[in-house]
Structure 1
């Protein structure tokens, strides 16, 4: 139907209401063939403005397998792998948080910056991957040069709620890639767990050691020792 309507002169960039243009609406609904048809008929892959952001941001956020083809089509049609806009999260950060490694690899292949920060919350892919609990995703990002400094990733690993062994492996991996145990990150760029400790987003700065010490009773002792062995210091 989409092809028929487009063939009879429908605008591939027609307004679809609050969601954005027709392309963004099709991505939001998971309509892969409609996305394909719209791209073939000249839909603007760079449009931003609906409540979901750009089409690529929507595909990255969804995370389901069918959105991999959508993300691939958008990127091959010229979508900017680093698009985010003034209000939206960076697509790589969303893909990392959703746990979709295929979309993460696609974005990196098309030049996505592994250290990019979201324009509003300061979110980044490394911290998002830590929050998702996927050590494989964290490893991929680190191998592609994701910066640990100021990312909040180490703090997120120390304060995460997945099983203790997962915390320890994540912390070790980040330290192996040069994460500074004394780096203090704005809580606004870290997890909701850290935000709760600090009294709300952006109200304080926390080191990994401080986060670990405020964790579950006795559960973070090994992590605390590891951080201290790696040079973590108490603030004066």
Structure 2
């Protein structure tokens, strides 16, 4: 008799302790994440939506929230255990995208929840490289402090320092980014794919203020 009743008890226990996943809720979760509806995200997760489900372009709900700068929704997802390093079909994760776009609030959350500082985007670059490219000083400083390699070379053979000069306009924000990178140990003499140093690129682009900064930090032609 005990051999008959015991499996039934065990099965009931398993049912009550395991979380049911309801795939029908994954679409609404993506929508709530995009709309920054934190309360709805929390409700759907509690009802059984899959936190790592994939939507448009292979985005997880957290990547969807990040690409919509939905800070409140991202916070709920991260606090619930969403993977900050999960990438979509074009190799963007919440961490990488927040860094690239200067979404510092979300970036800070990803850094506090296990962001992989060595992960790279589809161009083979760390989060620091596009942050420097866009002149996002606070983001650059945050990533430097976190420990991202300031001398990482991406697939186009550029470092963060190269991209701040190649894509920058030499304005004050780019001067500040270049200074922050150099002060953090960025090597001004790493050459790009055409054999050019950062100093050579700065001179070619007429960025006289940045040329002076590079010369003061050991930059060579």
Report the TM-score when normalising by structure 1: 0.72
Relative to structure 1, the CA distance from residue 45 to residue 210 in structure 2 (aligned partners, 3 Å threshold; closer, same or farther) is farther
Q: CA RMSD in A?
A: 2.7
State how 1:21-32 maps to structure 2 within 5 Å: 21-32=27-38
SS at match of 1:106: helix
Structure 2 segments unaligned to the other structure (5+ residues):
1-20, 154-158
CA shift digits 1:37-57 (9 cap, x unpaired): 211112112223532611111
Partner residue, 1:209: 199
Relative to structure 1, the CA distance from residue 34 to residue 178 in structure 2 (aligned partners, 3 Å threshold; closer, same or farther) is same
Residue 43 (structure 2) pairs with residue 37 (structure 1): yes
CA shift digits 1:173-225 (9 cap, x unpaired): 10110111122456xxxxxxxxxxxxxxxxx675422431332x3xx123223
Residue 28 (structure 2) pairs with residue 59 (structure 1): no
For residues 201 and 166 of structure 2, the distance between their equivalents in structure 1, rounded to whole angstroms, comes to: 6
Residue 192 (structure 2) pairs with residue 223 (structure 1): no
Partner residue, 1:113: 116
Partner residue, 1:14: 24
How many Å apart are 1:76 and its aligned residue? 1.6
Partner residue, 1:103: 106
Partner residue, 2:15: none
Residue 138 (structure 2) pairs with residue 136 (structure 1): yes
For residues 28 and 228 of structure 1, the distance between their equivalents in structure 2, rounded to whole angstroms, comes to: 46
How many Å apart are 1:58 and its aligned residue? 1.6
For residues 46 and 206 of structure 1, the distance between their equivalents in structure 2, rounded to whole angstroms, comes to: 43
Given candidates 166, 171, 181, the residue that maps to 2:188 is: 181
Structure 1 segments unaligned to the other structure (5+ residues):
1-10, 187-203
For residues 93 and 204 of structure 2, the distance between their equivalents in structure 1, rounded to whole angstroms, comes to: 30
Contact kept? 2:170, 2:209, Cα under 8 Å = no
Name segments (4+ residues, structure 1) moved above 6 Å: none
Which structure's residues are more often helix, by fraction?
2
For residues 94 and 197 of structure 2, the distance between their equivalents in structure 1, rounded to whole angstroms, comes to: 27
CA shift digits 1:99-149 (9 cap, x unpaired): 22211111100011234212x222321122223322122111111101111
Partner residue, 1:8: none
How many residues matched?
197
Report the TM-score when normalising by structure 2: 0.76
